[in-house]
């Protein structure tokens, strides 16, 4: 009888210990997400270091794990980490807009490419639809938060719509291989940050409880 009580007590201790570990783990997961939200910044300066493909794959998978209207998952992602592709794309665009206002912001000593000098770019496309903007917003945020947790920086580039609207860029747009009916929505510059910008102020007065 005494041995049985000892066994029961030992099992209870084991269960309590396992439950404690689980609670701590779950708490850390929640903290990790919140910390990533607090730490995320739009990065516009990157180190000249390639991003591992394993990490880029993780980012893309985190993106497609986002919710979507009726779970249709109407999005496509294309990852480009080829320096040759990025440099060629940049040269083609610069030639197309030479002498115009579009080229002015790029004429800086630190300029390397049109994707904020990032070593990798994730292009995102979707068909036109009522919920496309919502779907792609959730996908992009997943990627940006995952990148923060992996020590990477990102910058959302809506300007790629105008960039790839240039006739000279048709070949590069086609090389992304998006399905028929899918339009390029935005791109995410991805790389190792070479800056640590402060968070921009947020207007918390936008939040109200309805009684």
Instruction: Tell me the pTM.
Output: 0.84
pLDDT for 21 equals: 45
* Neighbouring C-beta atoms of residue 153, cutoff 10 Å: 27
The Cα–Cα gap between 62 and 42 comes to 18
Q: How far apart are CA 168 and CA 204, in angstroms?
A: 44
End-to-end CA distance of the chain: 59
CA distances from 197 to 38, 96, 141, 153, 194 (A): 13, 32, 19, 11, 10
The reported pLDDT for the residue numbered 27 is 44
Give the gyration radius of the chain's Cα atoms. Answer: 23
Confidence category of residue 109, pLDDT binned at 50, 70, 90: confident
Q: What is the pLDDT of residues 59-79, one digit of tens each?
A: 999 999 999 999 999 999 999
- The H or E element containing residue 153 is strand 153-157
């Amino acid at each position: 009888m005494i041995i049985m009580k000892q066994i029961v007590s030992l099992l209870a201790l084991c269960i309590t210990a396992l439950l404690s570990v689980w609670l701590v783990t779950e708490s850390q997961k929640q903290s990790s997400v919140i910390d990533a939200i607090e730490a995320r910044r739009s990065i516009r300066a990157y180190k000249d270091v390639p991003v591992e493909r394993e990490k880029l794959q993780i980012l893309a998978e985190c993106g497609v794990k986002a919710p979507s209207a009726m779970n249709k998952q109407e999005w496509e992602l294309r990852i480009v980490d080829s320096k040759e592709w990025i440099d060629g794309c940049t040269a083609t665009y610069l030639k197309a807009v030479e002498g115009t206002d579009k080229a002015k912001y790029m004429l800086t000593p630190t300029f390397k490419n049109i994707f904020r000098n990032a070593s990798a770019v994730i292009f995102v496309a979707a068909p036109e639809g009522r919920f496309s903007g919502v779907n792609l917003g959730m996908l992009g945020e997943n990627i940006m938060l995952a990148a923060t947790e992996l020590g990477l920086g990102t910058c959302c580039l809506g300007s790629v719509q105008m960039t790839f609207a240039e006739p000279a860029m048709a070949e590069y747009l086609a090389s992304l291989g998006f399905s028929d009916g899918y339009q390029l929505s935005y791109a995410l510059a991805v790389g190792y940050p070479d800056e640590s910008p402060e968070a921009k102020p947020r207007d918390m007065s936008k939040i109200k409880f309805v009684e």
